[in-house]
Structure 1
């Protein structure tokens, strides 16, 4: 992202706040754009309007798909690539120095050629992601090529970072965060815990009393894992029923409905299925 964006963000990040949920205490390091721009729907589409010179189309699509999956795995958002003629929420392109309206956009200046700025993105609802086509893009970890004398840049890592901006996130101060301004240099390729807190806060997934349909499936042996992975962070315990285990069928074991942590004793409370929870009026 551009240096100007990083400087502009400092002011909104000066004050550190502490957020608590039950016994969870942490310093917030993620940053949401101050205007609160975000998408008003969760099923997002994207379209590639211009491909890079150094990477074939199949590998480019694969890299971008992996990058989008990193965010869909930790949020209620889904991403689908559409054809070149279709309308998309997010458009992606690889451009040279002077592209689109970079002359009139102080937050997204024209590219500077090899090295320097790699990419930049626009907040919702514009949702554009631009990559510098002068760079050498690869499907794999960034590394220096002595044979070519250039840096080979990891498209997955850079794309995942820019997608975070296109969803409404700014830079994080957490060095382990994918949204940290130096993530490209530290090699951080995965969404960190601070990124998860940020994206879920932006899309209100940490305040929901009931999990969205994307986190609700039929009961199975893996439901506990599914609950921990998909239910919002502050929605971290399933609503429980007073029914003792002998009244709950074995196959109805876990509920994917969830709410704020219940600090009262749970000695005689049992995790049950959505059906049993509804019977208790929860």
Structure 2
């Protein structure tokens, strides 16, 4: 262990979330291995994390960019997880994809290590049902953008060992973030509440109640939210929010039904900040 963080961490999936998770563990002192589906994706993940490292060093002089970069590797061989203490699955929010990815990771990693899913809505118990070692499996729900977020939701499945939950809590604190522990249920605590607010904001925009900026201002100025629900949806990704809403609709019914506006924007490729347009225009580097 390095300062209570896992000595070696594997991240399966190097997109925006996976890159952020890798970055957080690098800052805590871990050696991090990112595995992607092909060479191009692995190279893109390494560049994405390298950009985050550069920005961290610019903000904090004591950080050693060379050391951070040296502790990062990115590739396509899942056998690289063979010496990891923790492996975090961070592929897109698709149940079948997550099940396949978790199975591959579990085959490669040591039996004594912890496997976690970064799912924001899929039942940990459902995913655990396919695991060889369900006691050493749990949810670690990071928030986007990971470097700026102060929270990690630890999702405890019915079979998760208490000692694994305790270990995860220590790891999250070593990242400088606050852990909350929730019992497995669709949407957990954060997604269930946050998505409900976001969907209602989209319905209000759809109904012409107010502009996106004014709806967001109602929550930032009136309720002291750090960011409005529509801007948050742009940052998370409209496609990601749509997938979560569909998962919650299956679990809880019509109150989580995705608005037509959300479906239309996703179909048109307007996914938020990562595509340059969602409920807002995004012109900065993505």
Report which of the two structures shows the higher radius of gyration computed on alpha carbons.
1
* Band of TM-score, shorter chain: under 0.3
- The higher relative CO (CA closer than 8 Å, separation ≥ 6) is in 1
Q: TM-score, normalized by length of structure 1?
A: 0.24
Q: Which has the higher helix share?
A: 2
User: What TM-score do the two structures reach when normalised by structure 2?
Assistant: 0.24
